[in-house]
């Protein structure tokens, strides 16, 4: 690992960092994305992602925390077998004033990383017996996706499948909202059609969350391998999912409104599966 010092916002490395934060097109073209914060970056490194540039403000990041991150990087990724830092990684030291301009959000503890993009496909998922999977169709808001990933991690879900996405999996807001769960959980991105075929091929029951022609979620058996499928509040699920479903489930709405935020729905339904699986 080589170390550089950058003090100007006009430096090409800072310009690239800002472009990666702001534009999904740049992330796709350069095959890089940005992670801020020691906790989020720690989860990212633990998942085997490769850090290409590590921006550090020593005025903000304590030396012991920086060394802990560097040690993690030595134990993960391409340099792990040698117990050494990846020689292609660049440590970029920046002053506090520049860090404040470069950071996507506040309170990120003085570290920002550029990380190699990884395609996450259905074929990469490793399943245990009777898996619990969350499926999201065309959810647009990165904050909602991030919150669902966080709930999936808390409930110990085996995977989250994002179908026909309208937002970038490596959007900074999604990473922030997930608090790193986008790295700690298995995640795949696919079309709805391909996901239906994959679930059927693996013998996983499809439970679609919908108001029409459905039964209360707590009356549905979730102890076997299941995929809980949710759509947007505005449009719900497509016919692809409604027709493929083994059961339609709903969360009773006792007030005047007819829907919940998808992240709240995900937490309720995932924890119902946990409850059923842990009940005697």
pLDDT string in tens for the chain (280-residue length): 889 999 999 999 999 999 999 999 999 999 999 999 999 999 999 999 999 999 999 999 999 999 999 988 886 655 444 444 566 889 999 999 999 999 877 666 899 999 999 999 999 999 999 999 999 999 889 999 999 999 999 999 999 999 998 888 999 999 999 999 999 999 999 999 999 999 999 999 999 999 888 999 999 999 999 999 999 877 789 999 999 999 999 999 899 887 789 999 999 999 999 999 998 5
> Which of 154, 41, 150 minimizes the C-alpha distance to 103?
41
Question: What's the pTM value of the predicted model, to 2 decimals?
Answer: 0.89
- Residue 81 backbone phi and psi in degrees, to 5: -65, -30
- At how many degrees (to 10) do helices 38-46 and 63-75 cross? 10
Q: Which domains does the chain have, with CATH numbers?
A: 2-116 (3.30.1330.30), 122-278 (3.40.1280.10)
In the prediction, which pLDDT does 211 show? 85
By the 8 A CB rule, do 113 and 53 touch?
Answer: yes
Kindly state the helix (H) or strand (E) to which residue 192 belongs, with its residue range: helix 192-201
Exposed/middle/buried for 72, CB within 10 Å: 0-12, 13-18, 19+?
middle
């Amino acid at each position: 690992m080589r170390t550089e010092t950058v003090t100007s916002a006009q430096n090409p490395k800072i310009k690239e960092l800002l472009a990666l934060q702001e534009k999904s097109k740049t992330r796709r073209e350069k095959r890089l994305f940005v992670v801020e914060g020691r906790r989020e970056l720690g989860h990212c490194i633990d998942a085997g992602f490769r850090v290409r540039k590590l921006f550090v403000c020593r005025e903000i990041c304590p030396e012991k925390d920086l060394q802990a991150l560097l040690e993690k990087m030595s134990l993960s990724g391409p340099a792990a077998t040698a117990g050494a830092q990846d020689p292609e990684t660049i440590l970029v030291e920046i002053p506090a004033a520049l860090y404040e301009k470069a950071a996507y959000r506040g309170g990120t503890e003085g570290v920002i990383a550029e990380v190699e993009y990884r395609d996450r496909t259905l074929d990469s998922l490793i399943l245990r017996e009777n898996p619990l999977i969350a499926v999201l169709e065309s959810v647009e808001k990165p904050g909602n996706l991030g919150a669902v990933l966080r709930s999936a991690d808390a409930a110990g879900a085996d995977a989250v499948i994002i179908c026909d996405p309208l937002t970038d999996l490596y959007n900074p807001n999604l990473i922030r909202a997930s608090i790193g769960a986008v790295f700690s959980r298995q995640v795949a991105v696919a079309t709805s059609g391909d996901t239906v075929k994959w679930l059927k091929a693996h013998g996983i029951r499809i439970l679609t969350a919908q108001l029409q022609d459905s039964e209360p979620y707590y009356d549905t058996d979730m102890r076997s391998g299941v995929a809980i499928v949710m759509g947007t509040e505005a449009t719900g699920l497509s016919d692809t999912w409604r027709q493929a479903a083994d059961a339609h489930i709903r969360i009773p709405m006792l007030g005047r409104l007819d829907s919940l935020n998808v992240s709240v729905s995900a937490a309720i339904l995932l924890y119902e599966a946990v409850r059923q699986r842990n009940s005697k």
